[in-house]
Structure 1
């Protein structure tokens, strides 16, 4: 069994698709990744700001499982799909909403939902959107481009940090796009 860990961390102070890898990122409770373009208590995603800038920011931290890179037919490295934290050894997509992830010694995030990738992913790599969004044998949409989370407790997160998973105690609900 693989121990869940952080493979890479990334951030960017501008709204670009790809985020450059960093030696460490600092998570701030209720706001997200310090210095990242999506940092804030209310929505920062540009299209969502245009619709309603007062919505709570449920997308403060974007996490993707490194194993996705093995599944897709593209040469992708951590941060290139816009994630802040690249993980390994954890089934992010199988977690229920409300799961708490402890990243390293101090940081804690709560999973809010699935990332809903847009056409920007095809601008990065033509055909990639069809690889990360598809349908199952029953016709249900399957999204593989990671999960979104809010920061419950701040702290520094760096590659190699362990990830501990705390499932919700109450009745769980599957992840949906946020």
Structure 2
């Protein structure tokens, strides 16, 4: 990664945490402790961990699960298809599911996660993304909760990566 550009901070860690706390306050009234928060791996893990802790701080202790989907591989743009590497680990039949993802761009991963949750019998599926990038084409479904309207730049940090690297940065940065 010697030729990787230096990341430019767009959202410092403190602002990331403020956005997460705001999302938790908006989500808490429409879920309950039986809700299954399902993170989309691997990028959504950082956001999901912070969001579930923020929900817990305000008295909402959700269940937790994960879906492992991939549309990027190590590329900087979506391959236009979704690979499912791991499905839900427990039954979600009859439960409200909150799909948690890091960034919404093409909408393919979120749409596939919603489809899977509905096929598994979820009573309701809500979606939350930390960042929503602009996109020239209509996307369905649009997320129910969005933390930050991101610029159309290649983002890293806070779970977002460049070929698997830079996910652990505490800030959200641009790499362009």
TM-score, normalised via structure 1 length: 0.25
The structure where helix makes up a greater share of residues is: 2
